[in-house]
DNA sequence: CGGAATCCGCTTTGATACTG
DNA sequence: CAGTATCAAAGCGGATTCCG
C-alpha cells in the first residue's frame, strides 16, 4: 500500500488541477487532458493509430482496411496525427507516387494507454449493455 | 513466442478484431471500443467522472465546479452516465429537494484507465506542443 | 495514387425560459 | 434545487469533383 515513490500523489488530483487551470483562462489555454481526449474521442484517430501499430501502411491501404472511413476523413485524421507527431509521413516519388505512414515512438506510447482503455471497454461491455437495458426498460 | 494461453494474444489484435466485426455489420452492432471512446471523447463525461471520483456530489455543486458546462449538458451527461451504470443518482426528498450523484464501482474502474491516459497527456504535452509548432512553422 | 476544395445535411451544443 | 423544453448556432462528417 501507499507506494508513493515519486509521482504518485493522487493522479486524479493532478489531472483535476490541470483541468482547472485551463478552465480559469476561459478554456483559451487548452488543457492537455481535454486535448488528447478530443483527439482520441474523434471518430477515426484511434482506429488509424491501431492499424499503424502493426507496421507502416499506405494511404489507400488504410482507406480499404478501416471500414467506413471516407477519403476526406482519413486525410484530415492523418494530418492531425502527423501534426502532433504521432505518425510520420513519407513520400516515395515513384510512378504512381505512394505515401507511407508510420507510428512514431510517441504514437506507440499512446497506443499502450488506449489499449488499456479499449480492453476495459471489451470487458465491461456486457455489464454496460445490461445496465442500459435495465435503465431503458424500467 | 505465440503464448496464447487464453486472452493474451496481442491486445491490439483483439481490439482490431472487435472493431472489424462491428464494422462488418455496417456499424449497426456497436463496437464496445468505439462506444466507450465516444463517451469518454465527449466534452464533459470525463470531467464529471473525475469530479465524482472524490466523492458524491450534488447537481449544482457539479455545475459550479465544472467551469464552462451548461445546465443542459450536465443533465444530459449525467443521464448518459447513469444509464451506463457508471454513476448512480439518489434523490433526497427534502425542501428544497437535492440530488446526489455517486460513482459506481464500474465507474471507478473506468477512471483508472482514464487517469492513465490523462497522465500520458500531461507528460506528452510539451512534446506535442513542440511538434505542432514545428509543423505549423515549417 | 494521394490528396485538396467545395457543398451540404445532420448532430451536438449553448442560451434562454419555464416547471415541480 | 434540479431539472425540462425549445430554438438557433456551430461543428463534424460524407459525397462529389478536381489536381499534381
- Between chain A and chain B, the number of residue pairs with CB atoms below 8 A apart is 174
Residues A52, A107: contact at Cβ < 8 Å?
yes
The alpha carbon of residue B137 and the mean position of all alpha carbons in its chain are separated, in whole angstroms, by 33
Burial per residue of B9-32, b for 16 or more beta-carbon CB atoms within 10 angstroms, e otherwise: eebbebbbebbeebbeeeeeeebb
CA distance A108 to A50: 9
pLDDT, averaged per 10 consecutive residues of chain A (138 residues), comes to 58 86 75 85 91 96 94 98 97 95 97 90 94 90
Residue B121 has pLDDT above 80, yes or no: yes
Distance B117 CA to C14 C1' (A): 28
Contacts of B124 in chain A (CB under 8 A): 32, 36, 106, 109-110
Place of cell 446526489: B100
Give the mutation candidate from B26, B30, B41 for the A interface (greatest A CB count, under 10 A).
B41
Cell of B127: 512534446
Q: Which among A8, A119, A45 has a CA at the least distance from the CA of B110? A: A119
Phi and psi angles of residue A9, each rounded to the nearest 5 degrees, phi first:
40, -135
Q: Determine the Cα–Cα distance for residues B71 and A92; give it in Å rounded to an integer.
A: 52
Question: Which nucleotide's C1' is closest to B38 (Cα)?
Answer: C12
Residue B3 pLDDT greater than 80, yes or no: no
**Beta-carbon contacts of residue A78 (< 8 Å; ≥ 6 apart):** A48, A59, A62, A87, A89, A101
Find the mean pLDDT for residues B49-58.
Answer: 95
pLDDT at B5 over 70: no
pLDDT of residue A5: 54
- pLDDT > 70? residue B8: no
Q: Which chain B positions have a beta carbon within 8 Å of A34's beta carbon?
A: 43, 46-47
Per-residue pLDDT at A28: 66
Amino acid at each position: 500500500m501507499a507506494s508513493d515513490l515519486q509521482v504518485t500523489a493522487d493522479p486524479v488530483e493532478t489531472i483535476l488541477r490541470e483541468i482547472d487551470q485551463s478552465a480559469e483562462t476561459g478554456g483559451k489555454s487548452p488543457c492537455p487532458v481535454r486535448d488528447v481526449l478530443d483527439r482520441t474521442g474523434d471518430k477515426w484517430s484511434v482506429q488509424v493509430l491501431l492499424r499503424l501499430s502493426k507496421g507502416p501502411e499506405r494511404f489507400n491501404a488504410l482507406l480499404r482496411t478501416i471500414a467506413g472511413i471516407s477519403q476526406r476523413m482519413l486525410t484530415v485524421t492523418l494530418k492531425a496525427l502527423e501534426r502532433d507527431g504521432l505518425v510520420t509521413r513519407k513520400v516515395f516519388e515513384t510512378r504512381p507516387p505512394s505515401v507511407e505512414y508510420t507510428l512514431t515512438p510517441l504514437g506507440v506510447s499512446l497506443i499502450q494507454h488506449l489499449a488499456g482503455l479499449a480492453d476495459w471497454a471489451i470487458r465491461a461491455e456486457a455489464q454496460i449493455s445490461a445496465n442500459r437495458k435495465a435503465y431503458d426498460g424500467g
